Amino acid sequence: MAQDSTLQPAARNMTKPFTYPVTKKIDQSDDYHGIKVADPYRWLEDLDSAETKSWVDSQNKLTFDYLNEIPVRSQIKQRLTRLWNYERYGVPFKEGDRYFLTRNSGLQNQSVLYTAKSLNDDPKILLDPNTLSSDGTVALSGADISDDGRLMAYGLSASGSDWQEWKVRDTETNRDLPDTIKWVKFSGASWTRDGKGFFYSRYDEPKEGTTLSGVNYYQKLYLHRIGTPQSEDTLVYDRPDQKDWGFGGTVTEDGRYLIINVSKGTDVKNRIYFKDLKTKDAAVVKLLDDFDASYNFIGNDGPVFWFYTNLDAPRSKIIQIDTTKPERSNWKTLVAEAPETLQSVNLVGDMFIASYLKDAYTQVKLYRTNGTFTREISLPGIGTATGFTGKRRDKETFYAFTSFTAPTTIYRYDIQTGQSTVFRQPKVDFRPQDYETKQVFYTSKDKTRVPMFITHKKGLKPDGTNPTYLYGYGGFEISLTPSFSVSNLVWLEMGGVFAVANLRGGGEYGEQWHKAGMKAKKQNVFDDFIGAAEWLIANKYTSTPKLAIGGGSNGGLLVGAAITQRPDLFGAALPAVGVMDMLRFQKFTIGWAWVSDYGSSENPDEFKSLYAYSPLHNLKPGTAYPPTLITTADHDDRVWPGHSFKFAAAMQAAQTGPTPVLIRIETKAGHGAGKPTSKLIDEAADRWGFLVRVLNMNVAADGLND
């Protein structure tokens, strides 16, 4: 590395507009309830056409020619690689007499699944996904172990696709059985207690040429028996009259019942059915069929079922239903709704382990099965704790704890003594004591109080000059909680501020917080995000020329809406795999499932609100938009890449002034899950390199020194 103490960004060509690849326009428009809406880039929705492929190649060339001119980018990649090279573990769990856990030695593209007879034994490899492809693009996407620990059903996905192929492996010999299950998507597996088969959900085989683009309807729940072909699997439940219903089957710990979770898209409301597995030809019982709330099965004591639900409790509570007397008048509330938001409950050691969110960080409390409070688990600090799985008879459980500056550490928790001990603690090449995280609260446009986490180096001066990356999501009742990221750590090392706003639409404060950012109220989410940016500027953490915003998927929509509504407010934008065409999102893959959160252009009233903020349709020619790097992947069958393609083409056409609008299109990758480490590092280096250049950052060389 150079001896100079500062790495200056490459000189930017800000004196004349970019020359973008020519993107043709076609005469295409649609009538939405009497309003004609042009869609001149519709042809880019066809990913396999020669024209689209040529467009992708030319756009990638422009983008990487630009990124390759950034000298500091290579040093950023080196630092990312060095930091990423640390040993990390997943949360262990036990089945039969075996423990199972994942481990990544550092730079492995995929984590490896191990098994051991005791915690003190050297674990042996059970499945190494890195051996399944040369470039690490085949990922382990799900696994379930039989009750005796002898067999593992596991799912694989390739190139980031949501499609999974399931297989069965003997945990003693590490050999696969002949069983192969195809056309699985959005499903796990759940073994019968005798280990002779498992339940799973699948779709019909798609028509030729529609595997990635076809709309996914009519999911079905099956039972697969070991040693038989998939064609002989037993159809357990389907609904030919309800194309958009999805099914998840879970066998109760005692093996007596199959719990069938019935969902409709991404709506948090669901139905619960069950089937008695001990009674031959037992009918499916519709226990909860009103679709009036979310019901999450915890466990059972014979015919008595326990759930946590947001029925008449927006922050959720724990209830008991006796299935022999299922009338609502007989239901019992065991743990009442609390000021904090109940996120999950597990039944381990004859205790309810209840995880709550308090202002977007974790609290964990233990209750007896009669609802009596026992104790709160003492966590290492303000952060996020996950895990706490196990069996009702277990005396131990494991959990992971992380924060913005604390790498994920795995703890073993003794349920009887209430003591946590470190099981695995990673060593990362940085000094966490040099950084600090604070939580602030600001008011949005309508005076709603919104929390935000801010992380930076200690001693940072709020003088308006600090490069700042503001991240958000705001949808589908998903909560953004503190978590450790090597990518974000490098941003902090470069002197950046990292801010996470907990916007409405998420689940940080329960269902009311979620509903306040849904459908016709979606604009609240964008107002919250814009309010976060204005607070950061007003409090002199940063200024417009130094402020970048980012988000992925629904967060990509967030960024797209923010820059179309307030292009003057931001210094750069990084929308990733975003939903940009709010009038057509429901026409691809699983997009129809998002109607519960967004609404649909097929509804006249919902069309109006969607059209009002749809990023693609609110780009205005002749506007000076901030420097923007759009990212997507050619195998994204969750958010169709056509969203980003069309948005990039339209934004390039609308852009005035010299700042770049670029799109980076990853190959052999999908929406994000299972992405190889090598691709994650490349993406992060490009993202930060882009911001170094467009935010005109001076990056200290010693901050990136190997």
The pLDDT of residue 12: 38
Phi, psi of 152, rounded to the nearest 5 degrees: -125, 125
The alpha helices in 320-416, defined as continuous H runs, are none
| DSSP helix/strand/coil, 74 | helix
Question: CB of 411 within 8 A of CB of 423?
Answer: yes
| DSSP helix/strand/coil, 490 | helix
Question: CB of 448 within 8 A of CB of 528?
Answer: yes
Burial of 507 (0-12, 13-18, 19+ CB in 10 A): buried
The pLDDT of residue 669: 52
As given in the structure block, the two tokens for residue 168 are: 């069965």
**What is the number of alpha carbons within 13 Å of residue 167 lying toward its C-beta?**
13
For residues 458 and 493, give the distance between their C-alpha atoms in angstroms, rounded to a whole number.
11
The pLDDT of residue 15: 44
696 backbone φψ class: left, alpha, beta (φ>0; ψ -120 to 50): left
Question: CB of 28 within 8 A of CB of 14?
Answer: no
Contacts for 695 with CB less than 8 Å, ≥ 6 apart: 467, 545, 546, 548, 571, 572
Burial of 574 (0-12, 13-18, 19+ CB in 10 A): buried
Question: CB of 683 within 8 A of CB of 90?
Answer: no
**By C-alpha distance, which of 386, 539, 556, 403 is closest to 471?**
556
CB atoms within 10 A of CB 278: 9
The pLDDT of residue 330: 98
Question: CB of 394 within 8 A of CB of 347?
Answer: no
- Those residues of the chain that have pLDDT short of 70 are 1-17, 213, 635-638, 668-674, 700-706
The 3 state secondary structure assigned to 623-645 is ECCCCEEEEEECCCCCCCCHHHH
As given in the structure block, the two tokens for residue 295 are: 């019901």
The pLDDT of residue 376: 97
Check the CA dihedral 478-481-483-487 and report its sign.
Answer: positive
**By C-alpha distance, which of 671, 466, 659, 667 is closest to 556?**
671
As given in the structure block, the two tokens for residue 470 are: 């503001």
What are the residues facing 700 on neighbouring strands? 6
Segments of 277-418 assigned E as strands? 284-288, 295-301, 304-309, 317-322, 332-335, 341-348, 351-358, 361-368, 373-377, 384-387, 396-402, 409-414
42-93 tens-digit pLDDT: 999 998 899 999 999 999 999 999 999 999 999 999 999 999 999 999 999 9
For residues 70 and 8, give the distance between their C-alpha atoms in angstroms, rounded to a whole number.
9
| DSSP helix/strand/coil, 551 | strand
CB atoms within 10 A of CB 291: 12
**By C-alpha distance, which of 544, 567, 548, 663 is closest to 624?**
567
Contacts for 68 with CB less than 8 Å, ≥ 6 apart: none
Q: What is the pTM of this model?
A: 0.89
Question: CB of 243 within 8 A of CB of 218?
Answer: yes
For residues 86 and 182, give the distance between their C-alpha atoms in angstroms, rounded to a whole number.
35
Question: CB of 409 within 8 A of CB of 402?
Answer: yes
Q: How far is CA 462 from the centre of its chain?
A: 32
Q: How far is CA 397 from the centre of its chain?
A: 24
Question: CB of 569 within 8 A of CB of 534?
Answer: yes
Strand duo 257-264 + 270-276: pairing: antiparallel
Question: CB of 522 within 8 A of CB of 598?
Answer: yes
**By C-alpha distance, which of 298, 300, 299 is closest to 309?**
298
277-292 tens-digit pLDDT: 999 999 999 999 999 9
**By C-alpha distance, which of 432, 582, 519, 705 is closest to 37?**
582
Long-range contacts of 205-214 (CB under 8 A, 24+ apart): 209/48, 211/163, 212/47, 212/161, 212/589, 212/635, 212/637, 213/47, 213/588, 213/589, 213/637, 213/640, 214/589
504 backbone φψ class: left, alpha, beta (φ>0; ψ -120 to 50): beta
SS3 of the chain: helix, strand, coil, percent, to 5: 20, 35, 45
Catalytic residues: 553, 671
529 sits in which H/E element:
helix 523-538
C-alpha to C-alpha distances, 448 to 479, 527, 617, nearest whole angstrom: 17, 10, 28
For residues 203 and 216, give the distance between their C-alpha atoms in angstroms, rounded to a whole number.
7
| DSSP helix/strand/coil, 66 | helix
For residues 505 and 339, give the distance between their C-alpha atoms in angstroms, rounded to a whole number.
19
Contacts for 479 with CB less than 8 Å, ≥ 6 apart: 341, 343, 357, 360, 502, 506, 507, 508
The pLDDT of residue 17: 63
The pLDDT of residue 443: 98
**By C-alpha distance, which of 603, 543, 607 is closest to 581?**
607
Contacts for 564 with CB less than 8 Å, ≥ 6 apart: 613, 615, 618, 619, 620
For residues 668 and 636, give the distance between their C-alpha atoms in angstroms, rounded to a whole number.
9
For residues 364 and 342, give the distance between their C-alpha atoms in angstroms, rounded to a whole number.
9
Segments of 192-280 assigned E as strands? 197-202, 220-225, 234-237, 245-251, 257-264, 270-276
Q: Which residue has the tokens 């007397």?
A: 325
